[in-house]
């Protein structure tokens, strides 16, 4: 029985003829470069950030008339096809974040002035929250969802090279290596992502966007093979309580259900890891004599000072908890570096459970993504031997690329060594994956970590900073008790404690 249950752990479950995984933004942007010109009815984009100067196929040189800039591509499409409905719905970011982005996307409106491209900055979230959903939908026929934004500092290859001039930005500086993952689907699953966009647009603009009739042709990029065929794809969301709407915490529920479902290995790639609830659920699995391995890959040090102050320090406490629970030696946590030792920013949000469940989306393993920011993700529960082989191959390829190995090499090492963690230890001869552990903290750092400053779990929690620790750890204790009583699913336990205001 699948854990992907509409109304509980997901919003909808729809069929896709094809599903594919795009590892790093070279693959994502190449797909965009082919998909966008194929659009005949509509192009919808949801984003945390957006910069029209972003180049889809950078070549190491930056000039005033680069034809591969996403803004120029959209403007040209709007001129050639006046009936093409192009809408971009981007978070109206707070001033400190806007300043760090050179006030894009705020300035991007001028880019599209006099065209039919509609760019709207969405502020329909509670104070302190953000719109964090990242998705592209073309003709309701193809949809891409994941952790990546279309911004000038996002492009990279799976090689994560030390000196790659193609990572050049408009100011002529090169940005740091970065790892992203997206998932692409077609069919009814893509159409459902279109419905999600239309719901967001209606809430933000008070405008109903009609669902267009299917367009001619197939916008699926010819260079991207399908990794899975004929699968059921779930869409899960986080939406904070806003005006008359209650909190939607499908992603939090699905995360707990996924952890409980694992038999062999829980593989997590995530930018942040600060949630006591998730840490408690993982700790319970590590304490089982025959429980699964837990492999976590995250960023060694967040690039922004604010995240270093908040997320990095709160992560320390979660790592201490899992290390204490790891009595059987099944917990592995790493951060990737380049060949010369430079941090690779892990911005992906991926969960793979055994060779069955895959989740790719925008949600972090922090408190905010469970009930305060808007998030979305795609998930599938692979059925059949062929599909499960492909899920395992996707996970092994992810692991291998950090160390410069193929997925096949990781699979071989897994079979020989008896597990994913042992395979990493055997292959990681050059130290491209380094152990991620707790860090020393000052008194201020300990206070920030204890009260999860900057990382509220929901709207009520955002106004009760000094009760946050009590509420979060009460929820974690309730979850631990539920697991001890033989109710490992227990999503209701944690959600009830957080959203009830206890």
Q: Specify whether 224 is located in the same domain as 254.
A: no
User: Does the pLDDT at position 63 exceed 70?
Assistant: no
Question: Would the pLDDT of 101 be above 80?
Answer: no
What's the pLDDT score for residue 501?
A: 43
Domain stop point among 204, 230, 256: 230
State yes or no: pLDDT of 322 exceeds 90: yes
Q: What percent of the chain has pLDDT over 90?
A: 76
Q: What is the total count of domains within the chain?
A: 2
Co-location of 250 and 194 in the same domain: no
Instruction: Decide if 438 is inside a domain.
Output: yes
Query: Which range has highest mean pLDDT (63-72, 163-172, 342-351)?
Result: 342-351
- Domain assignment of residue 267, given as a range: 235-499
Q: With contact defined as beta carbons under 8 Å apart, do 392 and 407 qualify?
A: no
**Which structure tokens are listed for 315?**
């992560």
pLDDT tens digits, 252-272: 999 999 999 999 999 999 999
> Is residue 2 in a domain?
no
> So what's the pLDDT on residue 151?
95
pLDDT, residue 351, reads 98
Give a yes or no: residue 216 inside a domain.
yes
Q: What are the tens digits of pLDDT across the range 169-187?
A: 998 899 999 999 999 999 9
Q: Which residues of 209-241 are buried (b: 16+ CB within 10 A; e: fewer)?
A: beeeeebeeebbbeebebbbeebbbbbbbbbbb
Q: Give the residue ranges of DSSP H helices in 85-206.
A: 95-100, 108-111, 187-205
- Let me know if residue 311 belongs to a domain: yes
How far is Cα 238 from Cα 53, in angstroms, rounded to an integer? 29
* Rounded (5°) CA angle 187-136-491: 80
Asked if the structure places residue 412 within a domain, the reply is yes
Residue 52 sits in the same domain as residue 188: yes
* Of 177, 193, 419, 457, residue with least CA distance to 303: 177
263 and 382 share a domain? yes
On whether residue 4 sits in a domain, the answer given is no
More confident residue, 71 or 492: 71
Of 230, 260, 283, the position where a domain reaches its end is 230
228-239 and 12-23 as β-strands: parallel, antiparallel, unpaired? antiparallel
Q: Report percent pLDDT > 70 for the chain.
A: 94
Mean pLDDT calculated for residue range 385-394: 97
Confidence band of 7 (pLDDT split at 50, 70, 90) = very high
Separation of alpha carbons 193 and 418, rounded Å: 39
Residue 490 belongs to a domain: yes
Whether residue 226 lies inside any domain: the answer is yes
Examine the domain organization and report whether 278 and 180 are in the same domain. Answer: no
The mean pLDDT of 199-217, rounded to a whole number, is 92
The band of 65, judged by pLDDT with boundaries at 50, 70 and 90, is low
Judgement on whether residues 292 and 206 belong to the same structural domain of the protein: no
Given 172, 198, 230, the domain boundary residue is 230
User: Each residue of 247-257: b (16+ CB within 10 Å) or e?
Assistant: bbbbbbbbbbb
Is the domain of 207 the same as that of 266? no
Q: Would you tell me how many other CB atoms lie within 10 Å of the CB of residue 406?
A: 12
Q: Indicate if the pLDDT at residue 197 is higher than 90.
A: yes
- pLDDT of 484 higher than 80: no
Residues 46, 48, 50, 56: what is their CA dihedral angle, to the nearest 10 degrees? -70
Average of per-residue pLDDT values in the chain: 92
- Are residues 154 and 286 both part of a single domain? no
Mapping DSSP to helix (H, G, I), strand (E, B) and coil, where does residue 453 land? coil
- Judgement on whether residues 259 and 168 belong to the same structural domain of the protein: no
The pLDDT of residue 502 is 43
Q: What pLDDT shows up at residue 310?
A: 86
Q: What is the pLDDT of residues 220-256, one digit of tens each?
A: 999 999 999 999 999 999 999 988 889 999 999 999 9
Categorize the per-residue pLDDT at 474 as very low, low, confident or very high, splitting at 50, 70 and 90: confident
pLDDT at 499 over 70: no
What pLDDT is attached to residue 358?
Answer: 98
DSSP alpha helices (H): ranges in 311-467?
Answer: 313-325, 368-371, 385-403, 407-417, 420-427, 443-451, 459-462
Chain centroid, CA 114 distance in Å: 34
**Pair (73, 104) in one structural domain:** yes
Angle at 300 between CA 23 and CA 441, to 5 degrees: 155
Of 451, 488, 444, 502, give the one whose Cα is nearest residue 282.
488
pLDDT tens for 455-468 read 898 998 888 888 88
As a whole number of angstroms, the distance between CA 415 and CA 404 comes to 19
Rounded Cα–Cα distance for residues 12 and 223 (Å):
29
The pLDDT of residue 317 is above 50: yes
Do 337 and 480 reside in the same domain of the chain? yes
Cis peptide bond prior to 105, omega within 30° of 0: yes
- The whole-angstrom separation of Cα 291 and Cα 482 is 17
CATH code of the domain in which 471 resides: 3.30.870.10
- Pairing label, strands 42-47, 135-138: antiparallel
* Confidence grade of residue 40 (pLDDT, cut at 50, 70, 90): very high
| CA pair distance 306, 328, nearest whole angstrom | 35
- The answer to whether residues 202 and 344 belong to one domain is no
The CA dihedral of 106, 93, 183, 346, to the nearest 10 degrees, is: 110
More confident residue, 351 or 492: 351
Contacts 24+ apart (CB under 8 A), 170-178: 170/53, 170/62, 172/62, 176/303, 176/342, 176/343, 176/344, 176/345, 177/338, 177/342, 177/343, 177/344, 177/345, 178/24, 178/25, 178/153, 178/154, 178/344, 178/345, 178/347
Q: Is 221 helix (H, G, I), strand (E, B) or coil?
A: coil
Mean pLDDT for 373-392 is 96
Pick the range with the lowest mean pLDDT from 9-23, 84-98, 347-361, 483-497.
483-497
60 pLDDT band (50/70/90 cuts)?
confident
Please give the residue that has the higher pLDDT: either 210 or 60: 210
Query: C-alpha angle 331/333/337, rounded to 5°?
Result: 155
pTM here is 0.94
């Amino acid at each position: 029985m699948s854990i992907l249950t509409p109304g509980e752990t997901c919003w909808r479950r729809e069929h896709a003829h094809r599903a594919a995984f795009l590892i790093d933004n070279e693959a994502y942007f190449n797909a965009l470069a082919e998909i966008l010109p194929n659009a005949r009815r509509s192009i919808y984009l949801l984003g945390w950030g957006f910069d029209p100067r972003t180049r889809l196929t950078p070549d190491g040189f930056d000039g005033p008339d680069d034809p591969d800039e996403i803004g120029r591509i959209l403007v040209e499409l709007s001129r050639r096809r006046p009936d093409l409905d192009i809408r971009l719905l981007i978070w109206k970011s707070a001033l400190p974040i806007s300043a760090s982005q050179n006030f894009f996307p705020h300035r991007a409106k001028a880019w599209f002035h006099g065209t039919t491209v509609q760019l709207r900055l969405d502020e329909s979230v509670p104070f302190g929250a953000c719109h964090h959903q990242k998705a592209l939908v073309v003709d309701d026929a193809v949809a891409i969802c994941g952790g990546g934004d279309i911004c000038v500092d996002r492009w990279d290859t799976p090689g994560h090279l030390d000196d790659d001039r193609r990572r050049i930005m408009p100011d002529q500086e090169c940005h740091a290596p970065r790892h992203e993952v997206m998932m692409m689907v077609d069919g009814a699953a893509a159409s459902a992502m279109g419905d999600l966009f239309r719901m967001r647009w209606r809430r933000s603009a008070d405008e109903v966007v009609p669902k267009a009739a299917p367009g001619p042709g197939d916008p699926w990029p010819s260079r991207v093979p399908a990794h899975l065929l004929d699968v059921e794809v779930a869409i899960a969301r986080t939406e904070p309580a806003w005006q008359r709407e209650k909190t939607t915490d499908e992603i939090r529920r699905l995360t707990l259900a996924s952890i409980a479902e694992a038999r062999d290995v829980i593989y997590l790639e995530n930018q942040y890891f600060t949630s006591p609830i998730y840490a408690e659920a993982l700790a319970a699995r590590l304490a089982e004599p025959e429980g699964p391995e837990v492999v976590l890959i995250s960023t060694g040090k967040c690039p922004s000072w604010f995240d270093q102050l908040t997320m990095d320090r709160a992560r320390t406490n979660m790592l201490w908890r899992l290390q204490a629970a790891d009595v059987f030696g099944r917990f592995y946590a790493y951060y990737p570096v380049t060949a010369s030792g430079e941090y690779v920013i892990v911005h992906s949000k991926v969960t793979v459970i055994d060779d069955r469940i895959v989740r790719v989306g925008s949600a972090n393993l922090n408190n905010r993504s469970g009930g305060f920011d808007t998030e979305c993700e795609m998930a599938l529960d692979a059925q059949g031997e062929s599909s499960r082989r492909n899920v395992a191959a996707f996970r092994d390829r992810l692991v291998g690329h950090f160390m410069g190995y193929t997925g096949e090499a990781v699979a071989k090492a897994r079979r020989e060594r008896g597990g994913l963690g042992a395979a990493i230890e055997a292959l990681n001869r050059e130290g491209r994956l380094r152990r991620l552990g707790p860090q020393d903290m000052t008194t201020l750092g300990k206070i920030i970590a204890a009260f999860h400053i900057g990382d509220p779990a929901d709207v009520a929690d955002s106004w009760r900073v000094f009760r946050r620790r009590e509420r979060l750890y009460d929820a974690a204790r309730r979850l631990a008790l539920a697991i001890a009583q033989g109710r490992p699913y227990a999503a209701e336990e944690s959600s009830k404690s957080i959203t009830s205001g206890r």
